[in-house]
């Protein structure tokens, strides 16, 4: 985000006030492949009784852009940030994919009113409940 947009807009997420507060109260821990930057509170503790951990997103604030290794650190699942350990992704972990809701690539299961296929006919194994 440019410094110009931080000065003149608050809706982009990061403002000059946020930048100043981070500089004064936090220490930089590392960044990820998306350009997000991770910080740790220098002094005191947060509401959980431990120093706060937080992320400043490079672009729009999209929590799905936090990689699994940083997600674990942010949520206190692991104590060591990925910059201080040899993190290996699990074979089942997939690379980030943007949320496609509201786009032509959105997931639409069979039977959805937005799919070109028609809904399959009932097979006769269902009987509606009728109150007695």
pLDDT, residue 97, reads 79
Residue 1 clears pLDDT 60, i.e. is over it: no
pLDDT, residue 29, reads 94
50-107 pLDDT, tens digit each: 899 999 888 777 788 888 889 999 999 988 999 888 888 888 888 877 788 888 888 8
- Tokens standing for residue 28: 């930089």
Mean pLDDT rounded to a whole number for the chain: 83
- SS3 category, 22: helix
Give the residue among 76, 23, 71 at the shortest CA–CA distance from 51. 76
Residue 131 clears pLDDT 80, i.e. is over it: yes
Quote the CA–CA distance of 106 and 128 in Å, as a whole number. 32
């Amino acid at each position: 985000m440019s410094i110009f947009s931080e000065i003149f807009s608050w809706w982009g997420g990061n403002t000059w006030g946020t930048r100043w507060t981070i500089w004064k109260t936090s220490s930089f821990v590392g960044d990820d492949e998306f350009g997000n930057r991770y910080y740790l509170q220098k002094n005191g503790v947060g509401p959980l009784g431990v120093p706060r951990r937080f992320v400043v997103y490079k672009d729009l604030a999209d929590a799905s852009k936090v990689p699994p290794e940083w997600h674990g650190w942010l949520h206190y699942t692991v104590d060591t940030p990925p910059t201080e350990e040899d993190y290996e992704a699990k074979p089942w972990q997939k690379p980030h994919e943007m949320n496609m809701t509201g786009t032509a690539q959105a997931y639409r299961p069979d039977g959805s009113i937005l799919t070109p296929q028609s809904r399959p006919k009932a097979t006769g194994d269902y009987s509606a409940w009728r109150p007695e």
